[in-house]
Structure 1
Protein backbone atom coordinates (compact mmCIF):
# COMPACT_ATOMS: atom_id res chain seq x y z
CA UNK A 1 0.00 0.00 0.00
CA UNK A 2 1.30 3.46 -0.96
CA UNK A 3 0.50 5.95 1.80
CA UNK A 4 0.34 9.53 0.54
CA UNK A 5 -0.21 13.07 1.81
CA UNK A 6 -1.83 15.60 -0.53
CA UNK A 7 -0.51 19.18 -0.24
CA UNK A 8 -2.56 21.83 -2.08
CA UNK A 9 -4.18 25.00 -0.75
CA UNK A 10 -7.28 24.62 -2.93
CA UNK A 11 -9.99 22.51 -1.27
CA UNK A 12 -11.64 21.70 -4.59
CA UNK A 13 -8.33 20.38 -5.94
CA UNK A 14 -7.74 18.17 -2.89
CA UNK A 15 -11.27 16.79 -3.08
CA UNK A 16 -10.88 16.07 -6.79
CA UNK A 17 -7.60 14.28 -6.21
CA UNK A 18 -9.15 12.17 -3.46
CA UNK A 19 -11.97 11.11 -5.79
CA UNK A 20 -9.46 10.10 -8.45
CA UNK A 21 -7.23 8.18 -6.05
CA UNK A 22 -10.09 6.47 -4.21
CA UNK A 23 -10.35 4.14 -7.20
CA UNK A 24 -6.77 2.91 -6.80
CA UNK A 25 -6.72 -0.10 -4.44
CA UNK A 26 -3.01 0.28 -3.66
CA UNK A 27 -3.11 3.99 -2.70
CA UNK A 28 -4.15 5.25 0.74
CA UNK A 29 -4.52 8.99 1.46
CA UNK A 30 -3.40 9.43 5.06
CA UNK A 31 -3.22 13.22 5.30
CA UNK A 32 -3.71 16.63 3.72
CA UNK A 33 -1.89 19.97 3.95
CA UNK A 34 -2.82 23.47 2.80
CA UNK A 35 0.56 25.22 3.24
CA UNK A 36 4.24 24.61 3.85
CA UNK A 37 3.85 24.67 7.62
CA UNK A 38 1.36 21.79 7.56
CA UNK A 39 3.52 19.89 5.06
CA UNK A 40 6.50 20.03 7.41
CA UNK A 41 4.25 18.91 10.25
CA UNK A 42 3.34 15.76 8.32
CA UNK A 43 6.98 15.19 7.35
CA UNK A 44 8.10 15.36 10.98
CA UNK A 45 5.28 13.09 12.10
CA UNK A 46 6.06 10.55 9.36
CA UNK A 47 3.91 7.53 8.58
CA UNK A 48 3.60 7.99 4.81
CA UNK A 49 5.55 7.10 1.67
CA UNK A 50 4.88 9.85 -0.86
CA UNK A 51 4.08 13.56 -0.81
CA UNK A 52 1.90 14.89 -3.64
CA UNK A 53 2.98 18.53 -3.60
CA UNK A 54 1.74 21.71 -5.28
CA UNK A 55 4.65 24.08 -6.02
CA UNK A 56 2.73 27.28 -5.28
CA UNK A 57 1.17 27.37 -1.83
CA UNK A 58 0.93 30.16 0.77
CA UNK A 59 4.03 30.72 2.86
CA UNK A 60 7.04 28.50 2.38
CA UNK A 61 6.76 26.58 -0.86
CA UNK A 62 8.51 25.64 -4.08
CA UNK A 63 12.15 24.64 -4.26
CA UNK A 64 12.86 25.98 -0.78
CA UNK A 65 10.22 23.70 0.75
CA UNK A 66 11.42 20.67 -1.24
CA UNK A 67 14.95 21.17 0.05
CA UNK A 68 13.73 21.47 3.64
CA UNK A 69 11.68 18.28 3.30
CA UNK A 70 14.64 16.38 1.86
CA UNK A 71 16.93 17.59 4.63
CA UNK A 72 14.53 16.18 7.23
CA UNK A 73 13.23 13.11 5.37
CA UNK A 74 15.70 12.22 2.59
CA UNK A 75 13.92 8.95 1.74
CA UNK A 76 10.46 10.49 1.33
CA UNK A 77 9.27 10.42 -2.30
CA UNK A 78 7.99 13.75 -3.65
CA UNK A 79 5.76 14.05 -6.71
CA UNK A 80 5.10 17.62 -7.84
CA UNK A 81 1.60 18.34 -9.16
CA UNK A 82 1.45 21.88 -10.54
CA UNK A 83 0.07 24.27 -13.14
CA UNK A 84 3.60 25.01 -14.40
CA UNK A 85 4.41 23.32 -17.72
CA UNK A 86 7.65 25.29 -18.14
CA UNK A 87 10.70 23.02 -18.00
CA UNK A 88 12.65 25.46 -15.83
CA UNK A 89 10.31 24.83 -12.89
CA UNK A 90 10.64 21.07 -13.37
CA UNK A 91 14.44 21.17 -13.58
CA UNK A 92 14.75 23.22 -10.40
CA UNK A 93 12.24 21.08 -8.49
CA UNK A 94 13.97 17.84 -9.46
CA UNK A 95 17.40 19.24 -8.63
CA UNK A 96 16.04 20.16 -5.20
CA UNK A 97 15.00 16.56 -4.57
CA UNK A 98 11.61 15.87 -6.17
CA UNK A 99 11.37 12.49 -7.91
CA UNK A 100 8.48 13.35 -10.20
CA UNK A 101 6.83 16.30 -11.95
CA UNK A 102 3.27 16.25 -13.25
CA UNK A 103 1.01 19.05 -14.48
CA UNK A 104 -2.56 19.48 -13.28
CA UNK A 105 -3.76 19.11 -16.87
CA UNK A 106 -2.81 15.43 -16.75
CA UNK A 107 -5.46 12.71 -16.76
CA UNK A 108 -6.34 10.82 -13.59
CA UNK A 109 -4.88 7.58 -14.93
CA UNK A 110 -1.60 9.40 -15.54
CA UNK A 111 -1.58 10.63 -11.94
CA UNK A 112 -2.09 7.13 -10.54
CA UNK A 113 0.67 5.79 -12.77
CA UNK A 114 3.02 8.59 -11.73
CA UNK A 115 2.39 7.91 -8.04
CA UNK A 116 3.13 4.21 -8.47
CA UNK A 117 6.30 4.90 -10.44
CA UNK A 118 7.70 7.50 -8.04
CA UNK A 119 6.78 5.39 -5.00
CA UNK A 120 8.79 2.53 -6.51
CA UNK A 121 11.87 4.73 -6.66
CA UNK A 122 11.76 5.66 -10.33
CA UNK A 123 11.58 9.23 -11.74
CA UNK A 124 8.55 10.56 -13.62
CA UNK A 125 8.08 13.62 -15.83
CA UNK A 126 4.80 14.38 -17.59
CA UNK A 127 4.68 14.44 -21.39
CA UNK A 128 3.97 18.19 -21.48
CA UNK A 129 7.10 19.02 -19.50
CA UNK A 130 9.20 16.45 -21.37
CA UNK A 131 8.24 18.20 -24.62
CA UNK A 132 9.45 21.52 -23.21
CA UNK A 133 12.75 19.91 -22.24
CA UNK A 134 13.24 18.53 -25.75
CA UNK A 135 12.42 21.89 -27.36
CA UNK A 136 14.95 23.55 -25.08
CA UNK A 137 17.64 21.09 -26.15
CA UNK A 138 16.77 21.66 -29.82
CA UNK A 139 17.24 25.44 -29.43
CA UNK A 140 20.64 25.69 -27.71
CA UNK A 141 21.44 29.11 -29.15
CA UNK A 142 18.52 30.85 -27.51
CA UNK A 143 19.69 33.11 -24.70
CA UNK A 144 17.70 32.15 -21.62
CA UNK A 145 18.64 34.82 -19.11
CA UNK A 146 16.63 33.31 -16.26
CA UNK A 147 18.87 30.24 -16.27
CA UNK A 148 21.63 32.41 -14.81
CA UNK A 149 19.58 32.90 -11.65
CA UNK A 150 20.03 30.85 -8.50
CA UNK A 151 17.00 28.91 -7.25
CA UNK A 152 16.23 31.61 -4.67
CA UNK A 153 16.63 34.39 -7.24
CA UNK A 154 14.36 32.53 -9.66
CA UNK A 155 11.74 32.20 -6.91
CA UNK A 156 11.93 35.94 -6.17
CA UNK A 157 11.82 36.69 -9.90
CA UNK A 158 8.68 34.54 -10.31
CA UNK A 159 6.93 36.37 -7.49
CA UNK A 160 7.97 39.81 -8.75
CA UNK A 161 6.61 39.23 -12.25
CA UNK A 162 3.43 37.77 -10.72
CA UNK A 163 2.80 41.20 -9.18
CA UNK A 164 3.95 40.64 -5.60
CA UNK A 165 5.49 43.54 -3.68
CA UNK A 166 8.86 43.36 -1.92
CA UNK A 167 7.09 43.14 1.44
CA UNK A 168 4.73 40.39 0.26
CA UNK A 169 7.64 38.37 -1.10
CA UNK A 170 9.56 38.81 2.16
CA UNK A 171 6.57 37.50 4.14
CA UNK A 172 5.95 34.67 1.68
CA UNK A 173 9.54 33.43 1.68
CA UNK A 174 10.30 34.27 5.32
CA UNK A 175 13.07 36.69 4.35
CA UNK A 176 13.82 40.28 5.34
CA UNK A 177 12.72 43.12 3.06
CA UNK A 178 16.39 44.06 2.66
CA UNK A 179 17.30 40.54 1.50
CA UNK A 180 14.51 40.50 -1.08
CA UNK A 181 15.56 43.94 -2.34
CA UNK A 182 19.12 42.66 -2.70
CA UNK A 183 17.87 39.64 -4.66
CA UNK A 184 15.87 41.94 -6.94
CA UNK A 185 18.96 44.06 -7.64
CA UNK A 186 21.05 40.99 -8.44
CA UNK A 187 18.33 39.55 -10.67
CA UNK A 188 18.15 42.74 -12.72
CA UNK A 189 21.95 42.89 -12.98
CA UNK A 190 22.24 39.27 -14.11
CA UNK A 191 19.46 39.65 -16.66
CA UNK A 192 20.63 43.07 -17.86
CA UNK A 193 17.30 44.73 -17.10
CA UNK A 194 16.52 48.09 -15.55
CA UNK A 195 12.82 47.84 -14.72
CA UNK A 196 10.14 45.47 -13.51
CA UNK A 197 8.22 45.95 -16.75
CA UNK A 198 11.18 44.48 -18.67
CA UNK A 199 11.16 41.48 -16.36
CA UNK A 200 7.42 41.00 -16.87
CA UNK A 201 7.78 41.21 -20.66
CA UNK A 202 10.55 38.61 -20.52
CA UNK A 203 8.45 36.34 -18.30
CA UNK A 204 5.50 36.57 -20.70
CA UNK A 205 7.70 35.86 -23.72
CA UNK A 206 9.19 32.77 -22.05
CA UNK A 207 5.95 31.53 -20.44
CA UNK A 208 7.30 32.01 -16.93
CA UNK A 209 4.40 33.87 -15.37
CA UNK A 210 3.46 32.04 -12.21
CA UNK A 211 0.06 31.78 -10.45
CA UNK A 212 1.48 32.18 -6.92
CA UNK A 213 -1.02 32.71 -4.16
CA UNK A 214 -0.78 34.72 -0.95
Structure 2
Protein backbone atom coordinates (compact mmCIF):
# COMPACT_ATOMS: atom_id res chain seq x y z
CA UNK A 1 0.00 0.00 0.00
CA UNK A 2 1.28 3.49 -0.91
CA UNK A 3 0.66 6.05 1.79
CA UNK A 4 -0.23 9.65 1.10
CA UNK A 5 2.25 12.54 1.55
CA UNK A 6 0.52 13.69 4.73
CA UNK A 7 1.15 10.51 6.69
CA UNK A 8 4.81 9.52 6.91
CA UNK A 9 4.18 5.94 7.97
CA UNK A 10 6.23 3.41 6.03
CA UNK A 11 6.82 -0.34 5.84
CA UNK A 12 9.93 -1.70 7.53
CA UNK A 13 13.03 -2.42 5.49
CA UNK A 14 14.24 -6.02 5.35
CA UNK A 15 17.01 -5.20 7.84
CA UNK A 16 14.53 -3.56 10.23
CA UNK A 17 12.16 -6.50 9.84
CA UNK A 18 14.91 -8.98 10.67
CA UNK A 19 15.88 -7.01 13.78
CA UNK A 20 12.28 -6.75 14.95
CA UNK A 21 11.45 -10.42 14.32
CA UNK A 22 14.63 -11.57 16.06
CA UNK A 23 13.64 -9.59 19.16
CA UNK A 24 10.05 -10.86 19.15
CA UNK A 25 11.10 -14.47 18.55
CA UNK A 26 13.23 -14.35 21.68
CA UNK A 27 9.98 -14.06 23.65
CA UNK A 28 7.30 -15.89 21.66
CA UNK A 29 9.28 -18.36 19.56
CA UNK A 30 7.44 -19.90 16.61
CA UNK A 31 4.20 -18.15 17.57
CA UNK A 32 5.68 -15.17 15.72
CA UNK A 33 4.18 -16.73 12.60
CA UNK A 34 0.72 -15.89 13.94
CA UNK A 35 1.57 -12.19 13.87
CA UNK A 36 2.83 -12.12 10.30
CA UNK A 37 0.34 -14.50 8.69
CA UNK A 38 -3.15 -13.12 9.42
CA UNK A 39 -5.32 -13.68 6.32
CA UNK A 40 -8.63 -13.38 8.21
CA UNK A 41 -7.76 -10.01 9.75
CA UNK A 42 -4.75 -8.58 7.85
CA UNK A 43 -2.19 -6.80 10.02
CA UNK A 44 1.06 -5.11 9.01
CA UNK A 45 4.16 -3.71 10.71
CA UNK A 46 4.74 0.00 10.13
CA UNK A 47 7.36 2.54 11.21
CA UNK A 48 6.39 6.04 12.39
CA UNK A 49 8.83 8.37 14.13
CA UNK A 50 11.22 5.50 14.88
CA UNK A 51 8.45 3.49 16.57
CA UNK A 52 7.20 0.19 15.17
CA UNK A 53 3.45 -0.42 15.17
CA UNK A 54 1.43 -3.58 14.60
CA UNK A 55 -1.63 -2.31 12.77
CA UNK A 56 -4.73 -3.57 11.03
CA UNK A 57 -4.62 -2.73 7.31
CA UNK A 58 -7.98 -1.00 7.66
CA UNK A 59 -6.50 1.48 10.15
CA UNK A 60 -3.55 2.14 7.83
CA UNK A 61 -5.98 3.13 5.08
CA UNK A 62 -7.73 5.52 7.44
CA UNK A 63 -4.42 7.04 8.57
CA UNK A 64 -3.49 8.13 5.04
CA UNK A 65 -5.35 11.43 5.38
CA UNK A 66 -3.95 12.30 8.82
CA UNK A 67 -1.21 14.99 8.83
CA UNK A 68 2.04 13.69 10.31
CA UNK A 69 2.01 16.32 13.07
CA UNK A 70 -1.39 15.09 14.23
CA UNK A 71 -0.66 11.36 14.13
CA UNK A 72 0.44 10.26 17.60
CA UNK A 73 -0.05 6.49 17.49
CA UNK A 74 -1.81 3.75 15.56
CA UNK A 75 -2.40 0.10 16.37
CA UNK A 76 -0.10 -1.50 18.95
CA UNK A 77 3.29 0.09 19.55
CA UNK A 78 5.83 -2.74 19.75
CA UNK A 79 8.88 -0.63 20.48
CA UNK A 80 11.35 1.86 19.09
CA UNK A 81 14.52 1.93 17.00
CA UNK A 82 17.42 3.94 18.41
CA UNK A 83 19.65 6.21 16.35
CA UNK A 84 22.08 3.29 16.07
CA UNK A 85 19.34 0.98 14.71
CA UNK A 86 18.99 -1.01 17.93
CA UNK A 87 15.42 -2.06 18.69
CA UNK A 88 13.90 -1.97 22.17
CA UNK A 89 10.56 -3.56 22.95
CA UNK A 90 8.17 -1.33 24.91
CA UNK A 91 5.71 -2.39 27.59
CA UNK A 92 2.96 -1.59 25.08
CA UNK A 93 3.90 -4.88 23.35
CA UNK A 94 3.08 -6.87 26.48
CA UNK A 95 -0.44 -7.79 25.40
CA UNK A 96 0.89 -9.62 22.34
CA UNK A 97 3.88 -11.13 24.13
CA UNK A 98 1.73 -12.37 27.00
CA UNK A 99 -0.85 -13.84 24.66
CA UNK A 100 1.55 -15.78 22.46
CA UNK A 101 4.06 -16.78 25.13
CA UNK A 102 1.24 -18.36 27.14
CA UNK A 103 -0.67 -19.99 24.29
CA UNK A 104 1.64 -22.55 22.75
CA UNK A 105 -0.06 -22.56 19.35
CA UNK A 106 1.35 -24.80 16.65
CA UNK A 107 2.84 -22.73 13.84
CA UNK A 108 1.29 -23.01 10.40
CA UNK A 109 3.21 -25.01 7.88
CA UNK A 110 3.19 -22.19 5.32
CA UNK A 111 3.29 -18.42 5.37
CA UNK A 112 1.91 -16.00 2.80
CA UNK A 113 4.68 -13.44 3.38
CA UNK A 114 7.46 -15.37 1.68
CA UNK A 115 10.73 -13.51 2.32
CA UNK A 116 9.63 -12.33 5.76
CA UNK A 117 9.01 -15.88 6.89
CA UNK A 118 12.48 -16.83 5.69
CA UNK A 119 13.87 -13.98 7.78
CA UNK A 120 12.44 -15.51 10.97
CA UNK A 121 12.96 -19.17 10.07
CA UNK A 122 16.21 -19.42 12.05
CA UNK A 123 14.41 -18.48 15.26
CA UNK A 124 11.36 -20.75 15.01
CA UNK A 125 12.93 -23.50 17.07
CA UNK A 126 12.92 -21.40 20.24
CA UNK A 127 10.82 -22.73 23.09
CA UNK A 128 8.36 -20.50 24.92
CA UNK A 129 9.54 -19.38 28.34
CA UNK A 130 7.53 -17.89 31.18
CA UNK A 131 8.10 -16.92 34.79
CA UNK A 132 5.59 -16.42 37.59
CA UNK A 133 6.43 -14.24 40.59
CA UNK A 134 4.98 -14.38 44.08
CA UNK A 135 2.60 -11.71 45.38
CA UNK A 136 5.34 -10.09 47.47
CA UNK A 137 7.46 -9.68 44.34
CA UNK A 138 4.85 -7.93 42.22
CA UNK A 139 5.24 -4.42 43.64
CA UNK A 140 9.07 -4.36 43.45
CA UNK A 141 8.87 -5.54 39.84
CA UNK A 142 6.24 -2.92 38.95
CA UNK A 143 8.57 -0.24 40.32
CA UNK A 144 11.17 -1.25 37.74
CA UNK A 145 13.27 -3.62 39.84
CA UNK A 146 14.72 -6.90 38.64
CA UNK A 147 13.28 -10.25 39.77
CA UNK A 148 15.22 -11.90 42.60
CA UNK A 149 15.11 -15.56 43.53
CA UNK A 150 13.10 -14.90 46.72
CA UNK A 151 10.22 -13.63 44.58
CA UNK A 152 10.25 -16.53 42.10
CA UNK A 153 7.07 -18.58 42.07
CA UNK A 154 7.86 -20.89 39.16
CA UNK A 155 9.64 -20.84 35.83
CA UNK A 156 9.61 -22.92 32.66
CA UNK A 157 11.96 -25.90 32.98
CA UNK A 158 15.31 -25.89 31.15
CA UNK A 159 15.26 -22.13 30.59
CA UNK A 160 18.68 -20.96 29.32
CA UNK A 161 20.60 -17.85 30.34
CA UNK A 162 19.85 -14.60 28.43
CA UNK A 163 16.46 -15.89 27.29
CA UNK A 164 13.51 -13.53 26.86
CA UNK A 165 10.71 -14.28 29.33
CA UNK A 166 7.23 -12.90 29.98
CA UNK A 167 6.67 -12.25 33.69
CA UNK A 168 3.28 -13.22 35.16
CA UNK A 169 1.64 -12.96 38.54
CA UNK A 170 0.70 -16.26 40.18
CA UNK A 171 -2.84 -15.61 38.87
CA UNK A 172 -1.56 -15.54 35.27
CA UNK A 173 -1.73 -11.76 34.77
CA UNK A 174 1.11 -10.47 32.52
CA UNK A 175 3.15 -7.91 34.47
CA UNK A 176 6.03 -7.30 32.08
CA UNK A 177 8.95 -9.04 30.46
CA UNK A 178 12.68 -9.42 30.85
CA UNK A 179 15.77 -11.50 30.16
CA UNK A 180 17.00 -14.34 32.35
CA UNK A 181 20.20 -13.67 34.27
CA UNK A 182 20.84 -17.37 34.88
CA UNK A 183 19.64 -20.70 33.56
CA UNK A 184 17.04 -22.71 35.47
CA UNK A 185 19.73 -25.10 36.70
CA UNK A 186 21.96 -22.29 37.97
CA UNK A 187 19.01 -20.55 39.62
CA UNK A 188 18.55 -23.44 42.03
CA UNK A 189 22.02 -22.81 43.47
CA UNK A 190 21.60 -19.07 44.06
CA UNK A 191 20.86 -17.25 47.30
CA UNK A 192 17.46 -15.50 47.75
CA UNK A 193 18.77 -12.02 46.86
CA UNK A 194 20.32 -13.06 43.54
CA UNK A 195 18.84 -11.58 40.36
CA UNK A 196 17.28 -14.19 38.10
CA UNK A 197 15.49 -11.95 35.56
CA UNK A 198 16.54 -8.51 34.36
CA UNK A 199 13.52 -6.22 34.05
CA UNK A 200 13.14 -4.99 30.47
CA UNK A 201 9.64 -3.52 30.83
CA UNK A 202 6.74 -3.61 33.28
CA UNK A 203 3.22 -2.18 33.42
CA UNK A 204 4.32 0.32 36.06
CA UNK A 205 5.85 2.28 33.18
CA UNK A 206 2.38 3.48 32.21
CA UNK A 207 2.63 5.74 35.28
CA UNK A 208 6.40 6.24 35.59
CA UNK A 209 6.93 7.12 31.92
CA UNK A 210 3.52 8.35 30.79
CA UNK A 211 5.02 11.55 29.31
CA UNK A 212 7.45 9.73 27.00
CA UNK A 213 5.93 6.31 26.39
CA UNK A 214 3.80 7.36 23.40
| TM value normalised by structure 2 | 0.26
- Name whichever structure is richer in helix by fraction: 1
- Name whichever structure is richer in strand by fraction: 2
Q: Which has the higher contact order (CA 8 A, sep 6+)?
A: 2
